[in-house]
């Protein structure tokens, strides 16, 4: 399928953005696990590390709790399939001087056919809309130049380093921040 104006797919209705429901959790877990494995196929994760990660941080139970918390958004196609998701939560990253006006964009993933269509921007804007006066923090895998460029183009700056664990596998990540524009 081709792109028109870089932000829509020819002949395809753009996905609907909506809050995730608890009932979405099993489909979202399957989607998240598949997209994570596809996105980071070049990282040497062991099968055990992936299984542990999937069972804890990409499981249906995890997504049920995230949906209950209210910070989980889906991009859903006209065919009722998941095209992407975003998760926002209270800041959990180790930063200096955290405040109540900090928020963390924990996850932003799209299915490969939707990358480069503008959907990531729409999904991120929707997820962050309730927090216009908050500093937004996130982490990006240090060997993910596409992700780093995406966030830099949207005003995020690297402010530190972070070790993220997928099972027992330690990933070097960048902590990034975008302060509110007053």
Cβ–Cβ < 8 Å for 75, 84: yes
What does DSSP assign to residue 24? G
* pLDDT tens figures, 62-80: 999 999 999 999 999 999 9
Identify whether the C-beta of residue 67 lies closer than 8 Å to the C-beta of residue 20.
yes
What confidence tens digit (pLDDT) does each residue in 163-174 have? Answer: 999 999 999 999
**Three-state secondary structure string covering 124-170:** HHHHHCCCCCCEEEEEEECCCHHHHHHHHHCCCEEEEEEEEEECCEE
Q: How confident is the model at residue 10 (pLDDT cuts 50, 70, 90)?
A: low
pTM, 2 dp = 0.90
Token pair, residue 182, equals 């007053």
The values of phi and psi at residue 48, to 5°, are -65, -40
For residue 5, pLDDT over 80 is answered with no
Per-residue model confidence as pLDDT tens digits over 25-35 = 999 999 999 99
Q: Does pLDDT of 46 surpass 90?
A: yes
- Residue located via tokens 């500093």: 135
All domains of the chain in start order, with CATH: 14-178 (3.40.630.30)
Yes or no: say if 173 and 161 are a contact pair by the CB < 8 Å rule. yes
pLDDT band at 45 (very low <50, low <70, confident <90, very high): very high
What is the C-alpha to C-alpha distance for residues 129 and 134, in angstroms, rounded to an integer? 10
First to last CA, the chain: 40
């Amino acid at each position: 399928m081709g792109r028109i104006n870089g932000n829509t797919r020819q002949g395809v209705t753009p996905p609907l953005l909506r809050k995730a429901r608890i009932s979405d959790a099993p489909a979202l877990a399957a989607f998240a696990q598949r997209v994570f494995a596809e996105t980071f196929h070049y990282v040497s994760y062991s099968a055990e590390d992936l299984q542990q990660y999937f069972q804890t941080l990409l499981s249906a139970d995890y997504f049920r709790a995230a949906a209950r918390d209210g910070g989980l958004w889906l991009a859903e196609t006209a065919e009722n399939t998941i095209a992407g998701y975003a998760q926002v939560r209270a800041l959990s990253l180790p930063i200096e001087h955290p405040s109540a006006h900090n928020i963390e964009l924990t996850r932003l993933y799209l299915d490969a056919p939707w990358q480069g269509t503008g959907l990531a921007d729409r999904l991120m804007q929707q997820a962050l809309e309730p927090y216009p006066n908050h500093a937004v923090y996130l982490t990006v895998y240090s060997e993910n130049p596409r992700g780093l460029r995406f966030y830099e183009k949207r005003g995020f700056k690297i402010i530190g380093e972070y070790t993220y664990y997928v099972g027992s596998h330690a990933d070097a990540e960048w902590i990034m921040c975008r302060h509110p524009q007053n």
